[in-house]
Structure 1
Amino acid sequence: MDERYNRNRIYVSEEEQDKIRGTRILLGGAGIGSVIAECALRFGFEDIVIVDGDKVELSNLNRQNYVKTDIGKSKAECLAKRLLRINPKANIQFHDTFIDKGNVRELLDGVHIAINALDFKSDIPFIFDDLCSKRKIPVLHPYNFGWGAFLTIVKPGGYQLTEVSSTYKGFEVKMAEFLARYCTFWNMPNRWLDNVIEKYQNESGELPPPQLSVASWIVAGHCVNAMFDILTGKEVKFFPKFYFSSLRCDPA
């Protein structure tokens, strides 16, 4: 096995490592995606396409994979440069633009797995998933719920996230409510999450959801694990099933 990945041995076979290396990932959104990208690269995914038109802001630094000198610069470009400093031989492409109806089809060319970390400011995340489904591309949806990391995967030809809500407005909160209702139904309530949802909904003005670095790093690991499992034919939970991890729990 390549010396770079020698410590992956036993967990990952040489054949699997080669398969990972040749898998093209499309990263739609370089916010939480910035953490996922580095975890994926270090694991052995060396063909990554990054698409995001945002600039790095100071408020990103509490949870995203950037440094102070990146502020004001293109997220996609800063992330690409960081990844290439880790592995200069990797095929890292970046597009300093937002995914829209005009470019999404071209961006999906040659992609094997997509990560939908797009902001729900329009119906583009739904369009993105629909096109991936038609091209038989599985789509990972990572969410940062502060103390908890949530991941659901949309299977080509399977259920779409529009089952949760047909509108993009407030979708992140609706996904948190989906999780909270599920846990309560199965007698696994997460009252801390219920409390966060209630407080956020009571905040004045249109503020972005509160997020912590904790969930960004946990969900990044889940994403890389899930991508490995998809590629190697292991069992994977597809939406409406999901993965959720948190050390926060209610007393029995």
Structure 2
Amino acid sequence: MEGLYQRNRIYLTNEEQNFIKTYPLLIAGCGIGSNIAECALRFGFENLTLIDGDTVEQSNLNRQNYTLNDLSFFKSERLFKRLKEINPDADIKFHTGYIDHNNISALIKDHKIAVNALDFASDIPLYFDQLCQEKDISVLHPYNLGWAASVAVITPDSENLQSVSGNFNELEMVKFIIGDLKSKDKNYNWLESILDTYISEEEKLSPPQLSVASWILGGICTQLLYLIATQREIRKFPDYYIKSVLL
């Protein structure tokens, strides 16, 4: 393996390392997507498209891959700059607008896997999944659960998030995960307590999230990108991945 990736040896074959180098990935949403994008790039995925119309805010710095120098700049642009500093030869593109019904088809075109880290403020995230399924593109949905991280994988032949709820959002997904874990006697009582406390807050704020889960998600998603790209077996939604640092 070349110098940049020589420490990846044994974990990946030379053929796999060369193959993923040009494998086209779409990062839709550069909040939690910023952590995933860097981990994927360092692993060897060098063909990345970054999309986000948001700018970096101070509240992002507790968990997203940005610094004080990035405040008020477009997330996708600053993430592009950071990734190019890591690997200037990587084929990275960025878009500083939001995904909508007019541009979504053009933006997902020619990609093999997408990370859907879009805010559920409209029907776009669900339409994104639907269109990706039609175009034979697998989609990763990452969820920051503070001390834990979860990822759902939507494939062309899997169920989609609307099977959980016709009016799906991140809160519905967390409820779904908690219910499933309880049915399997998995001890995630702390997560249910966090959810209950968040719901009962008088002031309606964005959900609490930690840097811990953001970096776990970088690892989980990068492994899934590798497994999907090399056509290995994965869990498909409604199954999902979850990892916690709590013992």
How high is the TM-score relative to the length of structure 2? 0.98
Distance of 2:2 and 2:76 partners within structure 1: 28
Q: Which residue of 1 aligns with 2:178?
A: 180
How does 1:180-199 map onto structure 2 within 5 Å? 180-199=178-197
Matches within 5 A, 1:26-65: 26-65=26-65
User: Distance in 1 between the 2:193 and 2:232 partners?
Assistant: 36
Cα deviation, residue 164, structure 1: 1.2
**1:152-180 superposed Cα distances (whole Å, 9 cap, x missing partner):** 10011320001111114xx1111111111
Q: Is the 8 A contact 1:153 1:237 kept in 2?
A: yes
The answer for the alignment partner of 1:7 in structure 2 is 7
Q: Alignment partner of 1:72: what SS?
A: coil
Q: Distance in 2 between matches of 1:247 and 1:4?
A: 30
Give the Cα separation in 2 of the matches to 1:133 and 1:157. Answer: 8
The alignment covers a number of residue pairs equal to 247
| One-letter amino acid matched to 2:239 | K
How far 1:64 moved relative to its partner? Answer: 0.1
1:208 matched residue in structure 2: 206
Shift of 1:205: 3.3
> 1:110-129 counterparts in 2 under 5 A?
110-129=110-129
Q: In the TM superposition, what whole-angstrom CA distance separates every residue of 1:96-118 from its partner, at most 9, and x where no partner exists?
A: 01111111100011101000000
> Which residue in the other structure is 1:163 paired with?
163
The 2-side partners of 1:26 and 1:166 are apart by: 25
Q: Which amino acid aligns with 1:34?
A: S
Determine helix, strand or coil for the equivalent of 1:64: coil
Taking the aligned partners of 1:76 and 1:6, their CA distance within structure 2 comes to 29
Which residue of structure 2 lines up, in the alignment, with residue 233 of structure 1?
231
Q: Given that residues 123 and 167 in structure 1 are in contact (C-alpha distance below 8 angstroms), is that contact kept between their aligned partners in structure 2?
A: no
Cα deviation for residue 10 of structure 1 reads: 0.3
Map 1:87-166 onto structure 2 (within 5 A): 87-166=87-166
Task: Return the alpha-carbon distance in structure 2 between the equivalents of residues 246 and 28 of structure 1.
Answer: 25
Consecutive aligned runs of 4 or more in structure 1 exceeding 6 Å deviation: none
Give the aligned CA root-mean-square deviation in angstroms: 0.8
Q: Percent identity?
A: 47
Separation (CA, whole Å) in 1 of partners of 2:136 and 2:157: 7
Q: List runs of 5+ in structure 2 lacking aligned partners.
A: none
* TM-score of the superposed pair, with normalisation by structure 1: 0.96
Structure 1 runs not aligned, ≥5 long: none
**Native 8 Å contact 1:76 1:95 kept in 2:** yes
